[in-house]
């Protein structure tokens, strides 16, 4: 087939590498045909060529003309179909592998069309993701989901809770683990430089763990996010998905939306707010942060946590026949960890214009529960368990959240029910797992204390 509409592939020689790469990403196009004003084809290059040039130290502001391939394969107007097919199978040109599109030039070298060999698959655009904290509770599920979708996944994690969450992934072709610390700029660069998207999950997670060593928390949650942004911008990584938290809302009696005032009550929540601010203030047409404010997570994961309200209450109900309720009237927007990972996938896959610079509360409006309601659900599912009430409340967080934006814009729906999430954990207990649920590796606070 001869394609006469080829404007979207054409770039002027003075287009900068930075402009070209982001335009190619936006249009989901793999090649730049570099033409002068009279449409003479001067050279060809791909997204991969541009990324490599930047890695090799080319200034992102240099022009595409400085790195284009001027010895490209092309066809003349009178080339017959058989020859065109042959040319498309020649794999010396601008892309590794076969050439789906062969430029057709007239006698003056003017581009007049593209021969498209329909039998050759469209070159797959690079789909390579870095997940910081990818060995964690959310990250170990997310890594699996992205690998299953055909992404190349790199995890950068210091393995503070061990590597069990991703152990079996290490044999997979598209998976790479960098055991490293996000506070180390060299390791961040190693992880970021050749990916197309970063999902930033790593950090000291939770109010108690973050209070143990405030300086370490600031380094990990606050300053590392700043470095991450700088490095993404330098290496032209267009999309950064950031795991924030609904705990930025603190305590409030209204139904909270993304427009509500944030009232962080802890250092943890404050570092989430400051990271969100850096991210949004750095957004531009080349850098697109997406902020996901997760609700309160629960459920099974290959890296399990028993310091989250539902998981802890379920374990205590099963192993101790006791469900402790402190206060009980505080609201929590519950979100299954598998649904949280699914929201990250949606944020990676969505067209940039839908998500760029956006904050999304992640959860389901019908899944706001009070602590008392959670206890009652667990009590029903665990025979012989008893609810014990205490009226001291250490944790002042209390928030009920609206999730209509993520449902409307990204179609985030069909939550896993609280009952089935709890039953899944109970099935593991019944099979003899997690008898040591109090072990510090399941608890971020205890792990942090040991690491001091």
Residue 264 near ligand NAD by CB under 6 A: no
Q: What's the rounded Cα separation, in Å, for the pair 217 and 208?
A: 11
Stretch that binds ligand NAD, among 76-84, 296-304, 384-392, 428-436 (CB under 6 A): 296-304
SS3 content of the chain, % helix, strand, coil (to 5): 40, 25, 35
SS3 4: coil
Pick one of 139, 264, 289, 421: the residue that binds ligand NAD (CB under 6 A). 139
Phi-psi region of 57 (alpha: psi -120 to 50; beta: other; left: phi over 0): left
- Asked if 200 and 239 count as a contact pair (C-beta separation under 8 A), the reply is no
> Cβ 178 to ligand NAD, closest distance in Å?
9
> Cβ 298 to ligand NAD, closest distance in Å?
8
Residue 191 near ligand NAD by CB under 6 A: no
Q: How many residues bind ligand NAD (CB under 6 A)?
A: 28
The footprint of ligand NAD on residues 404-423 (CB under 6 A) is none
> Cβ 127 to ligand NAD, closest distance in Å?
22
Residue 269 near ligand NAD by CB under 6 A: no
Strand order of the sheet with strand 101-105? Answer: 2-3, 111-116, 101-105, 75-76
Pick one of 95, 297, 348, 355: the residue that binds ligand NAD (CB under 6 A). 297
Residue 182 near ligand NAD by CB under 6 A: yes
**Cβ closest to ligand NAD, residue 101 vs residue 305:** 305
The footprint of ligand NAD on residues 220-259 (CB under 6 A) is 220, 243, 245
**Cβ closest to ligand NAD, residue 160 vs residue 236:** 160
Residue 159 near ligand NAD by CB under 6 A: yes
Q: What's the rounded Cα separation, in Å, for the pair 285 and 68?
A: 23
Give me the sign of the Cα torsion angle 62, 63, 68, 70. Answer: negative
Helix (H) or strand (E) holding 189: helix 185-192
Pick one of 19, 30, 49, 157: the residue that binds ligand NAD (CB under 6 A). 157
> Cβ 262 to ligand NAD, closest distance in Å?
14
**For residue 289, what are its two tokens?**
């942060």
Instruction: Say which DSSP state 284 is in.
Output: B
Pick one of 294, 331, 412, 442: the residue that binds ligand NAD (CB under 6 A). 294
Query: Which string of x and - marks every residue 432-451 that binds ligand NAD (by CB under 6 A)?
Result: ------------x-------
Residue 202 near ligand NAD by CB under 6 A: yes
Question: Cα torsion at 178, 182, 188, 191 (round to 10°)?
Answer: 30
Stretch that binds ligand NAD, among 92-100, 151-159, 318-326, 346-354 (CB under 6 A): 151-159
Residue 133 near ligand NAD by CB under 6 A: yes
Residue 361 near ligand NAD by CB under 6 A: no
Residue 136 near ligand NAD by CB under 6 A: yes
Beta bridge partners of 152: 128
Length of the chain: 452
**Cβ closest to ligand NAD, residue 135 vs residue 371:** 135
> Cβ 348 to ligand NAD, closest distance in Å?
15
Residue 389 phi, psi (nearest 5): -105, 140
Strand order of the sheet with strand 358-362? Answer: 175-179, 152-157, 128-132, 197-200, 239-245, 288-294, 358-362
Residue 308 near ligand NAD by CB under 6 A: yes
Q: What's the rounded Cα separation, in Å, for the pair 269 and 275?
A: 10
Residue nearest to ligand NAD (CB): 136
> Cβ 346 to ligand NAD, closest distance in Å?
15
With a CB cutoff of 8 Å and minimum separation 6, the contacts of 417 are none
Stretch that binds ligand NAD, among 36-44, 159-167, 251-259, 374-382 (CB under 6 A): 159-167
- Asked if 75 and 115 count as a contact pair (C-beta separation under 8 A), the reply is yes
SS3 64: helix
**For residue 244, what are its two tokens?**
């924030």
Residue 304 near ligand NAD by CB under 6 A: no
Q: What's the rounded Cα separation, in Å, for the pair 48 and 36?
A: 22
Stretch that binds ligand NAD, among 13-21, 36-44, 289-297, 323-331 (CB under 6 A): 289-297
Pick one of 181, 258, 349, 395: the residue that binds ligand NAD (CB under 6 A). 181
Distances from the Cα of 165 to the Cα of 13, 136, 160, 170, 177, angstroms: 48, 7, 11, 11, 12
> Cβ 109 to ligand NAD, closest distance in Å?
52
Q: What's the rounded Cα separation, in Å, for the pair 97 and 93?
A: 9
Residue 155 phi, psi (nearest 5): -110, 130
What is the binding site for ligand NAD (CB under 6 A)? 133, 135-139, 157-161, 181-183, 201-203, 205, 220, 243, 245, 294, 296-297, 303, 305, 308, 444
């Amino acid at each position: 087939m001869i394609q006469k509409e080829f404007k979207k592939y054409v770039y002027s020689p003075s287009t900068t590498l930075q402009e070209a790469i982001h335009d190619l990403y936006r249009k989901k196009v793999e090649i730049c045909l570099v033409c002068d004003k009279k449409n003479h084809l001067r050279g060809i290059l791909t997204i991969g060529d541009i990324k490599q040039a930047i890695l090799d130290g080319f200034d992102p502001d240099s022009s595409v003309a400085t790195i284009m391939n001027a010895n490209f394969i092309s066809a003349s107007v009178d080339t017959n179909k058989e020859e065109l097919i042959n040319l498309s199978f020649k794999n010396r040109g601008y892309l590794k592998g076969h050439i789906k599109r062969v430029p057709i030039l007239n006698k003056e070298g003017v581009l007049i069309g593209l021969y498209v060999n329909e039998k050759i698959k469209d070159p797959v655009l690079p789909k390579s993701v870095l997940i910081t904290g990818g060995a964690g509770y959310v990250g170990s599920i997310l890594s699996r989901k992205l690998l299953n979708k055909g992404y190349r996944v790199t995890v950068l994690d210091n393995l503070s809770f061990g590597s069990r969450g991703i152990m079996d992934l290490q044999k997979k072709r598209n998976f790479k683990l960098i055991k490293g610390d996000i506070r180390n700029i060299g390791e961040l660069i190693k992880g970021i430089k050749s990916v197309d998207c970063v999902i930033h999950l790593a950090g000291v997670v939770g109010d108690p763990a973050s209070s143990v060593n405030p300086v370490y928390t600031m380094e990990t949650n606050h300053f590392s996010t700043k470095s991450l942004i700088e490095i993404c911008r330098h290496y032209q990584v267009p999309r950064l998905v950031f795991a924030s938290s609904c705990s930025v809302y603190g305590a409030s009696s209204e139904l909270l939306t993304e427009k509500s005032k944030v009232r962080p009550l802890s250092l943890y929540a404050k570092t989430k707010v400051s990271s969100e601010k850096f991210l949004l203030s750095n957004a531009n047409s080349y850098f697109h942060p997406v902020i996901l404010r997760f609700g309160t997570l629960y459920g099974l994961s290959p890296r399990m946590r028993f310091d989250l309200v539902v998981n802890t209450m379920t374990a205590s109900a099963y192993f101790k026949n006791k469900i402790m309720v402190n206060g009980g009237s505080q609201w929590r927007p519950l979100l299954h960890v598998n649904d949280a990972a699914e929201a990250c996938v949606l944020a990676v896959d969505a067209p940039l214009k839908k998500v760029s610079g956006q904050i999304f509360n992640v959860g389901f409006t019908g899944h706001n529960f009070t602590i008392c309601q959670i206890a009652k659900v667990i009590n029903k599912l665990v025979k012989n368990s008893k609810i014990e009430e205490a009226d001291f409340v250490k944790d002042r967080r209390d928030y009920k959240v609206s999730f209509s934006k993520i449902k409307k814009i990204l179609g985030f729906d069909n939550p896993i029910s609280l009952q089935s999430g709890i039953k899944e954990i109970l099935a593991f207990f019944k099979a003899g797992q997690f008898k040591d649920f109090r072990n510090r590796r399941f608890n971020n606070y205890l792990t942090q204390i040991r690491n001091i």
